[in-house]
Structure 1
Amino acid sequence: MGYKVQIGLSNKHLHLKEEDIEILFGKGHKLTPTKDLVQPGQFACEEKVDIVGPKATLKGIRVLGPARPETQIELAATDARAIGIKAPVRESGKLEGTPGCKLIGPCGEVELDHGVMIALRHLHLNPQQAEEAGLKDKDVVSIKIEGERGLVFNNVLVRAGVKHEKEIHLDTDEGNAAGCGPNTMAEVIK
């Protein structure tokens, strides 16, 4: 039996830079944490915004904190298609060449010329967990999910470091395709 890791399903969300937080929510506004996430220092926020594309609007989309150096919108392919945006699959933070959108908050609007992406599926590990698994940062692995709709996902990026904790991130399209629910585990295949 291989190295097992729990799957965390990532619903559509966004990360905001400080300047955009102030435009959307008001001067001096600080994000309001509502729930800590598995990844150290990361949290879901009370704040929500609308994401406007050429075809439609996604209403009330959750902001995740803390603030980032650059605003990043993470959608599943189904969400991107629904609002008319052709979003590429990217590693977090790799936003060059991505399309933009409009964000609407309670205090203002931000027109982005880039930042919309479909997150590359990835495996978070802290240094000790990476050593246990025989993996290192930037490795690419596959994961196997058992069950009625079991699947093997290839091209899973390993993100290992002190700011990470053991968890596989799939978006809702991927999780639904594999029949993932709470506490679904996957086996890492090197």
Structure 2
Amino acid sequence: MEQQTVEMITQMVLETIGRMEERSNGYQVPVGVSARHIHLTQEHVETLFGEGYHLTKKKDLMGGQYACNETVTVVGLKLRAIENVRVLGPVRKASQLEISATDTMKLGVAAPVRESGNIAGSAPVAVVGPKGVIYLKEGCIIAMRHIHMSPADAAAAGVHDGDIVSVRADNERGTVFNQVKIRVNDSFTLEMHIDTDEANASKIKTGDRVTIIR
């Protein structure tokens, strides 16, 4: 057997062993802390920012999304407001505000924990822009913690799209997160998303790594 073939087989065996060890010890994932933000329809963009207005990009995010230069003020049922809420693009079919549990107390809204896009029966909120105001009868949620993965990442971790896993943070707080949803897409970069409340309570910051322990 030629030396090159032997080296290729050896490399394949080592990679397979590495993947097996990684699965048994837990698969590590970097964290992205997600601050409050809002997704808007084009109709609502124009109501808030003016007729014919289009969102402008500030920073690219994964999956074709991007942070916009535009911000809005959100107002809850108790007429308490949170200013400078970042708009994320591109526009969507339904407007959706994602906030933390602490934000819900400030706004006086009963936002449920939901996967992004599942807004039926969620909390109402008003949104104020420089040119107008909209009232969402539903659309305010606390985003369910989740992990973005490419198909290759999912295969390496031994998980599938839609799986629910537990994740451990091995720091001084020693936090375990349950009910973490796996989301798999070719456009995704490996990252677990938690909100600011979860990050502060567990002393985790963007870039820290956690381990899938399912």
Deviations along 1:100-123, one digit per CA (max 9) or x if unpaired, are 111000111001100000000001
Cα RMSD after superposing both structures:
0.9
Return the match for 1:168 from 167, 188, 192.
192
Q: What are the ranges of 5 or more consecutive residues in structure 2 without an aligned counterpart?
A: 1-24
Q: Taking every aligned residue pair, what percent have the same amino acid on both sides?
A: 44
Q: Normalization by structure 2: what TM-score?
A: 0.86
Return the match for 2:163 from 139, 142, 145.
139
For 2:92, give the aligned amino acid. Answer: R
Equivalent positions of 1:79-98 (< 5 A) are 79-98=103-122
* 2-structure distance, mates of 1:138, 1:29: 36
Return the match for 2:74 from 39, 51, 55.
51
Runs of 4+ in 1 over 6 A off after TM superposition: none
* 2-structure distance, mates of 1:182, 1:15: 22
Return the match for 2:87 from 60, 63, 76.
63
Instruction: Report how many aligned residue pairs link the two structures.
Output: 189
Q: Normalization by structure 1: what TM-score?
A: 0.97
Deviates more, 1:160-169 or 1:172-181: 160-169
Q: Which has the larger radius of gyration?
A: 2
Query: What SS class does the counterpart of residue 40 from structure 1 fall into?
Result: helix
Displacement after TM superposition at 1:150 (Å) = 2.1
Deviations along 1:21-74, one digit per CA (max 9) or x if unpaired, are 11001111111111112x121111100000000221001110011111110000
Cross-structure match for 2:97: 73
Query: What SS class does the counterpart of residue 51 from structure 2 fall into?
Result: coil
Q: What are the ranges of 5 or more consecutive residues in structure 1 without an aligned counterpart?
A: none
> Are the aligned partners of 1:150 and 1:179 in contact in 2 as well (CA < 8 Å)?
no
